[in-house]
Structure 1
Amino acid sequence: MCTVLFMKTEAGFLLGKNNDNFFSEGILFTNRRGIIKSALIMPPCNPLQWKVKYGSLSFSQCGKELPVGGMNEAGLVVEQTTLPDTKYPEYRGGAGVGELQSIQYLLDTCVDVQEAIRYIENTEICQPTWPIHYVIADASGNMAVIEYIQRERKIFTGKNIAAKVVTNSRYDKANALYLQNNSDIRCENEYEYNSLQRFYKAADILNSTEYFDISSAFMYLEQLERIDTVWNIIYDPQNLNIYFRTKDSVEIKNVNLREIDFGEKSQPLLFPLSYPIEGNINCKFMKYSREKNSELINKFFKNELVASVMGITIPDELLEYLASYPELMEEANQYH
């Protein structure tokens, strides 16, 4: 599921997200500049390759380099929510990247929404495992929604975004229904009904509230929660702050990207989201370890509900490769 909304403040804006998922664990990873990466895909797809221009922080439930969202040091935020209507284009032989790693690709390489759109228009989603649509925002207050419908890429920006909310419905349909001021939601399934309910409620909150601050943003995210909401995240791109709390650790935590070393020689770091602490966590990050990454990956993919919903069982050999993938990239960079 998940809900994302764009909230105005007196001096700028906040992007808030409820992460709705029956799996509550996760890690916040640092991502340094300068490393050359190759997309985590298998033949016959051609892996996209890129060099990291901007350091970032990324939230992940299934391992480093496969984030569900994050923000870079230029203030670009890339988030996503599940969209069952997603149908990615057929692979045409170009530079390919998976649907989650494309989030990291944009964080690594783009300074604003305009550049992110240009980059994603020149890449292909390859070997996807989950149907999602993307929400992108930058420090200037620009926002875009990107979807793949009937094998075509749909991009919404500017005046095409009336209600600055994304749930789990096609944005064009949800936005159009809301503009019609039609409160009589009729859907064929409970999933879509719940999605549109949250869309309308979030849009009403935005219309009835002139300005938000961190406290009110968390309050309204709480009003939009589902029974399976496990994280609340608030991005402040202009000040490079991220605030979050989790079902397992309800204290509000914050981190400032200006206080993190993303230099080419910097030590990769991580922060377990359920760590019981309140307030600023900049000095609480731990050194990245393959063991921590592997632990998260195995917990996620071996979770019975995750395996059931995804409809796949990943062999231990592949899980081992996913865990070692960041180190393999580091080793490959030694030869560049």
Structure 2
Amino acid sequence: MCCKTINGEMVMLTNRALAAAVIASSLCLGLNATPASACSRILFNHGPHHVVARTMDLYIPDHAKIVVYPQGMERNGAVTVGQSHNWISKYGSVTVSSLGAGTSDGINEKGFVANLLYLHETKYEARDNRPGVSNAMVLQFLLDTSASVKEALESLNKTQVVSEQVAGRTWPLHISISDASGDSAVIEFVDGTMVVHHGSESNVMTNEPPLAWQLNNMKRYKYFGGSESLPGDIDPASRFLRASAFLKTTPAPKDTRDALAMAYGIAKTVSVPKGSENTSSMVGSEDTWPTLWTTLADSTNLYYFFQAAESPNMFWVDLSKINFAKGSPVLSVSGEDHSLNGEISAKLVQEKR
């Protein structure tokens, strides 16, 4: 592992191919090779309140499902080349599965949160001799084994995430993680090297270009020392700026409810309504990917909220009401059930395995 300076700050580098973690489910991705305007993630950090807001934007329905996994589950990295890493889940988690393929978002019982977003410029390393975890499994691997950002980064230094094909190609992604202390990191793969942005600079993540470019670009705008006004279009750079600006200017919340409302409000400023067109000059950017759903992960109080874009109702899981003990069943509920509202742990149904 080594370090490198990006935009005047030191970031950790390591020779890893934590290759794009993800199946179409985790994505916010498309089938062509052009950049994609998809998904946003915001970490709202104020005092004791640590809330992650995330939007999923996709060009087709992803048939989201909320899935609860217990401790003690045996997992395999499922790589096709080299040795697969095997592990047993140490922590239970509440996740979102998309397209019936894998985990795209989630929180575990320790308040550790992980999210996957698209990054077109991702470039991974070739397979090496480390035990591998496929890109379809990486998010669940982190949720199963990590209580903190520090632990997750240590795990990624020991286990190689291997990019596996889905729908005939590999998918470029970056990863955001945070924990109950408010620590945060964004993990990207640029020119074959894993770049870790660790700390407050990683509180916002959208899509291309990579985070280093986004952090430099924001200096042009009024909220960050520049002279330009905030853009209102939907491309990733504009969404990054709006989320960063509103996060910067939001007052301290009075309580948990206030913190959740503020995080949700910022997420709505970067959501993409159906029918929206990208009016920016970002050449090649996909412009017809609406927001399908939004999640709020409260690492402080261990709540996980979900709202489908087509429903006015928001529902949530109170993790304190879930039995995560080894041997407990895997539970789920459809994110497309628009009758759901409020706390729904009693409505989770055992999955057939």
* Aligned equivalent of 1:222, options 253, 268, 274: 268
TM-superposed CA distance for 1:47, in Å, is 1.1
* Aligned equivalent of 2:351, options 273, 282, 288: 288
CA displacement, residues 280-336 of structure 1 (integer Å, 9 cap, x when unaligned): 0110101113xxxxxxxxxxxxxxxxxxxxxxxxxxxxxxxxxxxxx4xxxxxxxxx
Higher helix proportion: 1
Aligned to 1:48: 85
CA displacement, residues 151-177 of structure 1 (integer Å, 9 cap, x when unaligned): 10000112xx43621000201110122
CA distance, structure 1, for counterparts of residue 306 and residue 185 of structure 2:
22
What is the letter of the counterpart of residue 319 of structure 2? L
C-alpha spacing 1:10/1:110, structure 2 compared with 1 (3 Å): closer
Flag structure 2 segments of 5+ consecutive residues without an equivalent: 1-37, 165-169, 254-258, 274-289
What is the letter of the counterpart of residue 298 of structure 2? D
What is the letter of the counterpart of residue 215 of structure 1? A
* Contact 1:7/1:211 (8 A) holds in 2: no
* Contact 2:178/2:185 (8 A) holds in 1: yes
* Contact 2:220/2:228 (8 A) holds in 1: no
TM-superposed CA distance for 1:93, in Å, is 2.7
Aligned to 2:249: 208
Q: Does 2:283 match 1:245?
A: no
CA distance, structure 2, for counterparts of residue 24 and residue 34 of structure 1:
28
Aligned to 2:55: 18
* Contact 1:45/1:126 (8 A) holds in 2: no
CA distance, structure 1, for counterparts of residue 202 and residue 67 of structure 2:
31
C-alpha spacing 1:100/1:184, structure 2 compared with 1 (3 Å): farther
C-alpha spacing 1:184/1:90, structure 2 compared with 1 (3 Å): farther
TM-superposed CA distance for 1:249, in Å, is 3.0
Q: Does 2:120 match 1:84?
A: yes
Aligned to 1:168: 207
TM-superposed CA distance for 1:211, in Å, is 2.9
Q: Does 2:125 match 1:94?
A: no
Aligned to 2:71: 33
CA distance, structure 1, for counterparts of residue 152 and residue 100 of structure 2:
23
1:78 partner SS: strand
1:215 partner SS: helix
Instruction: Write out aligned runs for 1:1-336 (5 A).
Output: 1-9=38-46, 11-22=48-59, 23-42=61-80, 44-63=81-100, 66-128=102-164, 129-158=170-199, 161-162=200-201, 164-169=203-208, 170-181=210-221, 182=226, 194-212=235-253, 213-227=259-273, 228-275=290-337, 276-289=339-352, 327=353
2:324 partner SS: coil
Could you tell which deviates more after superposition, 21-30 or 269-278? 21-30
Q: Sequence identity, in percent?
A: 25
CA distance, structure 2, for counterparts of residue 133 and residue 268 of structure 1:
27
CA distance, structure 2, for counterparts of residue 121 and residue 204 of structure 1:
33
**CA RMSD for the aligned pairs?**
2.0
After TM superposition, the score normalised by the length of structure 1 is 0.79
Aligned to 2:14: none
TM-superposed CA distance for 1:272, in Å, is 0.6
* Contact 1:249/1:273 (8 A) holds in 2: no
CA distance, structure 2, for counterparts of residue 115 and residue 8 of structure 1:
20
* Contact 2:94/2:304 (8 A) holds in 1: no
TM-superposed CA distance for 1:268, in Å, is 1.2
* Contact 1:24/1:247 (8 A) holds in 2: no
TM-superposed CA distance for 1:214, in Å, is 2.0
Flag structure 1 segments of 5+ consecutive residues without an equivalent: 186-190, 290-326, 328-336
After TM superposition, the score normalised by the length of structure 2 is 0.75
1:175 partner SS: helix
How many residue pairs get matched? 280
C-alpha spacing 1:12/1:259, structure 2 compared with 1 (3 Å): same
1:111 partner SS: coil
What is the letter of the counterpart of residue 264 of structure 2? F
* Contact 2:247/2:266 (8 A) holds in 1: no
2:235 partner SS: helix
CA distance, structure 1, for counterparts of residue 62 and residue 313 of structure 2:
15
